Amino acid sequence: MGDRNKIEVRIAGKDYTLVGVKSEEYIQKVALYVDKKITEIAKKNNRLSTAMAAVLAALNIGDDYFAVLEEKENLERGLKDIKEQLNQAKSTNMNLGSENKKLNEKCTELQLELAKREAELNEVRNSLRNSIRPRG
């Protein structure tokens, strides 16, 4: 386990000593966020006690957390779908590449066959011309 940090923070006008393994900057950032939430709620209703404002702030922070968690889950599902689509596209691409190779080989084969048949046709034509020519 990492070194524990002892940090002084101020939340809702009260000083607290926090101990944690996170950096001092991180803990200060979290404390400032909590303080800001409590202060916002207290300013909206000055009849709330600090404890009540803290509870409402905790509820708001919990709501924020679950909203972000839901967004994260939606993004993860979207990422999973995109990865599946990518894998399908890769598979399709490989299949099309293989099919393209086969078709190119067949095309080459047919071109060779065509050249052979054209040569045979020319031989027949030449033979026919030679046999039709008048001798003489």
pLDDT tens string 120-131:
999 999 998 888
User: What per-residue confidence (pLDDT) applies to 121?
Assistant: 95
Q: Say if pTM beats, i.e. exceeds, 0.85.
A: no
CB-based contact 8:27 (threshold 8 Å): no
User: What integer is the mean pLDDT of 59-82?
Assistant: 98
36-66 pLDDT, tens digit per residue, is 999 999 999 999 999 999 999 999 999 999 9
Strand, coil or helix: 16: strand
Strand, coil or helix: 6: strand
User: What integer is the mean pLDDT of 72-92?
Assistant: 98
User: What per-residue confidence (pLDDT) applies to 87?
Assistant: 98
CB-based contact 7:28 (threshold 8 Å): yes
User: What per-residue confidence (pLDDT) applies to 71?
Assistant: 98
C-alpha to C-alpha distance for 97 and 86, rounded to whole angstroms: 16
User: What per-residue confidence (pLDDT) applies to 133?
Assistant: 73
CB-based contact 34:16 (threshold 8 Å): no
User: What per-residue confidence (pLDDT) applies to 1?
Assistant: 56
Beta bridge partners of 15: 10
Whether 89 shows a pLDDT value over 60: the answer reads yes
User: What integer is the mean pLDDT of 96-101?
Assistant: 97
